[in-house]
Each structure stands twice: as C-alpha cells, then as structure tokens.
Amino acid sequence: MAIQTIPTQVFTDQRPGTSGLRKKVGVFMQPHYLENFVQALLNVLNASDASNQALQGKTLVLGGDGRFYNRAAVQMILKLAAANGVARVLLGCGGILSTPAVSAVIRRRQAFGGIVLSASHNPGGPDGDFGIKYNAGNGGPANETLTEAVFARTKVLTELHLSNAPDIDMDRLGLQQVEHMQVEVIDPVADYAALMRELFDFDLLRGMFNRGFTLRVDAMNAVGGPYAKAILEGELGAPAGSVVNAEPLEDFGGLHPDPNPVNAQDLIAHMNAADAPDFGAAMDGDADRNMVLGRNFVVTPSDSLALMTAHATLIPGYKDGLLGVARSMPTSAAVDRVAKALGLPCFETPTGWKFFGNLLDAGRVTLCGEESYGTGSSHIREKDGLWAILFWLSLQGATGKSVQDLVTSHWLLYGRNYYTRHDYEGIAVEVANALMADLRAALPTLQGRAFGQRTVSLADDFAYTDPVDASVSKNQGVRLLFDDGARVIFRLSGTGTEGATLRLYLESYEDDPVHQNEPVQAKLTELAAVAEQVAGIRIRTGMTGPSVAT
Ligand code: G16
C-alpha cells in the first residue's frame, strides 16, 4: 500500500446545487471527476484549522442510497480519505446509509462529518443521476460558505492524493484498514432505529398493529426499504409485506423514487381500492422525503407540517412543546396559522434543508418542513421520511382518528391552504433564465396590480437574512403575495441535471368549510392563469402545460 500523488485537470462544472453535486452517472464516471470533487472537499476540510491537517485523528461517516456507482464511489472515497489524513471512516454495510441515517450516525458518534452518496429523488441506473454531498459535524448539509469554498477549490485543483490499497469488503461488518485509516463497517439501521425508539411510543404502535391496523409503505426500491422493514415489520409487528419495493436496487427497478402523486401512482391506486389499508406512505431515493396518505386521501406536505405542529405534544419526543417551526418560502402558509395560534416563532427560509441548520442548532425551531415532501425535526439535521411515517402513525394511534379525519378537522379549525406545484421540466437554460430575469424586471409594475378580485400586496424576489449568523441569501424566488392570502411563486429548481426546471407554486386560502373539499387544480386555475399572464410560460417554453402537477 502506498499513497500516490496524481496530477489532475480541472472540471469547471462542480458547483453544488440545492443539495450537493448532482450529475448524470456518465459525467461522474469520467476519469477523475468524482476524485476531483472529493479531493477538493478534503482539501477544504483540512484547511479548516491552522495546521491545514484538520482531518488528522478525525472520523467521517460514509454511505449512500445504493444507486448505480455507489459501490465504486465508496471504494474511491476511502482511498482518497486515507491519503488525506482521515483517521477513521464509519461505513454503512454494503455502502448503504439513508440520508437521515448519516445525520443520525454523525450526531450519535460525534463524527467530524459525513459524505452522502445520493441524487435523492432523481432517477438512478447507468443513464440516471448520481450525487454527492457533505454533511458537517452537526449532521446537516454543509452551508453555502463551505460548498462555495469546495467549488472554488475544484477550479484550481492540480493533484489528487490517493492510496493504492486494495478495495475493502464493504459487505462485512467490523474493522478493516486502508493505509493507517480504520474503516468500521456498521449496521446501517442500528443507530437510526435507536433514535426512533427515543422519540416515539413503540408500545403504542405495537398495540395498533396487534389490533389489526394496516399500512402500505412504498420504499420505491430505494434505501428506505431496509429501515422500514426493520422498524415497522421487525420491531413494531406490522404485517409482513406492509413495506413494498423494499430492496434497494441500483436503478430503483426503473421506478422514479420521487414520492408524489405522479410517481407514486401504484401506492395511490392501492389507497383508493376497496380493500385499502388504513395508512399509506412512500419515501424517496435516500429516504429523507415522505408522502403520506389515508384511504382515498393524499396529504400535501405543507398540510403535513401544519398538522405535525398542531399535534406534536402527543408524541413523547415533543411532549414538552416546540421551540418554533420553520418552512421553506414556497411551502404553503398552513403552518404559519398553527404557529400563530400556539404562539410559536415561525421562520420562512429559502428552499434547501441546509437553511434550517442554524435555526435547529440555535434552538430556535423544533420542526421544519418543505413543500417538496420533506419534514423533519431537531432529532437530526436532515429531513426524515421514516420519522414522518412514524409521526403520522403515532398521531393516528394517539387520537384514534384516520388520516382524512385528522386533516379535514384541521381545515375546519384553521382553514385550508389549497396548494399545488407545477413543474416545467427540461426547459432550455437560456429560456428559463430569461423568463426569471424578465419577471424580476417586472416586479415594480406588479406591485399593487389587480388580477380579478385579487390585488398584489407584495411583489418581490425573496431574500433571506439568517437570524443566527446574519448571512444573506438573495434571488431565492419571485413572489406575488395577494391581499386575500393567495400566493404565486416562481423559481428555478437547483436539483435537476438536464436543462432547467421552472417551478410554479400556487396557493390560495379558504376558511369557508363549505368550500374546503374542492378539487385542488380546479380551485387554483385562476391563479395559474395569473402566472401565465405574468410570465408567459407556455409561449416561452412551447409547452402546453406543466410536465408534473402535484
Ligand atoms: C432537495 C433539498 C430540499 C429541496 C428540494 C427541492 O431535496 O434538500 O431542501 O426542497 O431538493 O429543491 P429544488 O426545488 O431546488 O429542486 P432532496 O430530497 O432532493 O435532497
């Protein structure tokens, strides 16, 4: 075994997006592409103390969602880590760790940080996407300062430091060695399951299943399967077969592991059938997202956050109440109403889980959520799919109410925020950028403008000043806020790998119970027309409608 120094050429496209660096597998498989990014990351981490050897004696956590290229990437990262001074790596067995599990392991074992190999909800396989991101010692996604430093480093990188040690056996639990670095292959589920036991009343949940409660959890052939099987079926006694598509596959068996009403149609069909189980849920590629359903009923992520906030004290882990809540800007304002009623601080952040990190670390919030099927809490620093499933199971167990009853009684009390997101995918980048630029330029003329019965009370480009470290994030999305509580928001996705995706978020508020059970898209047609009038999406893109409406 020896450590080698190998010259390398710069890649200019390694700027991390909303959540790490995501590219087509073919891009990642170019010689030195992955190596360069990891080397740049290790250089930046080493430079975080004056010795320029900050990783000496430190432990990193490593694992991914099992998608194509996961295993090869693990071996490569171990060789780079060993050559760059890392003392110890905790590696999920088989190279597997869900994103929430990485966060849990970093925190429980006080690791220096962790590397997550995932492109999350993006499709996998040789023609799909791959991704990598770094999580810091708090267990959360690296902040923008760090990701920008890594990007800057990738642009000046000249050499790689790499061990030529043989591959380790990543399927064997226990200790192995790469150079002087110890690799401990760990059970991917154990730490995470221990954390769930601390938060939820497992006896209550066991009792529910004993009495015949049924559920269907679709793990979408992604990394959530082993966690859901071990906890729901193994520990809590849910009937065998409750977790479907439970084995992580390199190409997700062709499924698109993005749990929403479009990609989780099979689950929706089961939940709409005559013999539907009591509860349904799905998780995404790396098991940090969740989708929650009752019989014949889909819960929007925004409503999910609002209900969790309203009922949190029913859950042992939150019985003493919440410190505050946070939602990303495009997420509906449903949770704001609950926070106001409970007297809780409520924060509005840019899209990206990393923006919740400071608020959680500073003890300003306990629950966070996003419209993109993400909810989580201070138990880790990532959103958490299975946690959300356990939370909703617990709500049903503690109240004896069905999912639909819980949500509709919530609307009666707080009103309903009708909500949808329209995605226009695969737009030419120049067209998308021009559309956003023109919208920004038009903001002064939109302020105060009337559209039918509604008037724009605020037209702006969302900017966020972090209340903890005062860092400022600008250009986070164009917002039209109306005088009746409706909102129209435009932003470009930061997670796609092909062209640009325009996201259009539409929301209106309804406090009249008579009108709280109408079809969502129909209810929001008028706002969609306003968006079209203002942005000319169809004319500019040549698309006749959104590619996905959730
Ligand atoms: C990531 C981020 C989320 C964000 C979502 C969508 O989720 O962690 O915070 O809401 O992408 O981002 P965008 O609208 O920019 O595509 P994940 O599950 O992909 O890691």
Using a 6 Å cutoff on CB, does residue 129 contact ligand 1? no
Ligand 1, closest atom to CA 18?
A: 15
- Band the pLDDT of 17: cuts 50, 70, 90: confident
Q: Round to whole Å and give the CA distance between 481 and 400.
A: 38
Angle of the 385-399 helix axis to the 190-199 helix axis, nearest 10: 30
Give the residue-averaged pLDDT of 458-481. 96
Give, for ligand 1, the residue of 495, 497, 548 to mutate: max count of ligand atoms closer than 8 Å to Cβ: 495
For the segment 121-140, what is each residue's pLDDT rounded down to a tens digit?
A: 999 999 999 999 999 999 99
Q: Round to whole Å and give the CA distance between 477 and 504.
A: 10
Give the residue-averaged pLDDT of 245-266. 94
Of the candidates 19, 103, 118, 120, the residue annotated as catalytic is: 120
Using a 6 Å cutoff on CB, does residue 327 contact ligand 1? no
In the predicted model, is pLDDT for residue 281 greater than 90?
A: yes
* Distances, alpha carbon 217 to alpha carbons 220, 258, 267, 361, 383, in Å: 9, 14, 8, 31, 17
Residues 6+ apart with CB under 8 A from 231: 189, 193, 196, 386, 390
Task: Give yes or no for a contact between 77 and 160, defined as CB atoms under 8 angstroms apart.
Answer: no
Residues 6+ apart with CB under 8 A from 258: 121, 122, 284, 285, 289, 373
- Band the pLDDT of 244: cuts 50, 70, 90: very high
- Of 391, 395, 379, 388, the residue nearest 194 (C-alpha): 379
Using a 6 Å cutoff on CB, does residue 103 contact ligand 1? no
* Residue with CA at minimum distance from ligand 1 atom 4: 352
- Give the per-residue pLDDT at 515: 97
Task: Give yes or no for a contact between 455 and 446, defined as CB atoms under 8 angstroms apart.
Answer: no
- Give the per-residue pLDDT at 46: 98
CA of 221 to the centre of ligand 1 (A): 20
- Give the per-residue pLDDT at 84: 98
In the predicted model, is pLDDT for residue 19 greater than 90?
A: no
Mean pLDDT of the chain: 97
* Residue with CA at minimum distance from ligand 1 atom 19: 120
DSSP of 9-78, one letter per residue? ---S----BTTBEEEEHHHHTSTTHHHHHHHHHHHHHHTTSTTS-TTBT-EEEEEE---TTHHHHHHHHH
Using a 6 Å cutoff on CB, does residue 381 contact ligand 1? no
Q: Round to whole Å and give the CA distance between 336 and 334.
A: 5
Using a 6 Å cutoff on CB, does residue 385 contact ligand 1? no
* Residue with CA at minimum distance from ligand 1 atom 14: 493
- Give the per-residue pLDDT at 311: 98
Sorted by where each starts, the structural domains of the chain and their CATH numbers stand as: 3-188 (3.40.120.10), 192-414 (3.40.120.10), 416-549 (3.30.310.50)
Give, for ligand 1, the residue of 130, 372, 382, 464 to mutate: max count of ligand atoms closer than 8 Å to Cβ: 372
DSSP of 158-202, one letter per residue? -EEEEE-PPPP-TTS-EEEEETTEEEEEE-TTHHHHHHHHHHS-H
- Of 71, 66, 59, the residue nearest 169 (C-alpha): 71
What residues are paired with 115 via a beta bridge? 62, 134
| pTM to 2 decimal places | 0.95
Using a 6 Å cutoff on CB, does residue 420 contact ligand 1? no
* Residue with CA at minimum distance from ligand 1 atom 3: 352
466 phi, psi to nearest 5 deg: -65, 125
In the predicted model, is pLDDT for residue 443 greater than 80?
A: yes
Using a 6 Å cutoff on CB, does residue 351 contact ligand 1? yes
The one-character DSSP state at 131 is E
CA of 237 to the centre of ligand 1 (A): 33
- Known catalytic residue at 120: yes
- Give the per-residue pLDDT at 495: 82
- Tokens matching residue 145: 């300062």
The three-state DSSP-derived secondary structure of 291-306 is EEEECCEEECHHHHHH
Using a 6 Å cutoff on CB, does residue 289 contact ligand 1? yes
User: Residue 465: exposed, middle, or buried by beta-carbon count in 10 A (0-12, 13-18, 19+)?
Assistant: exposed
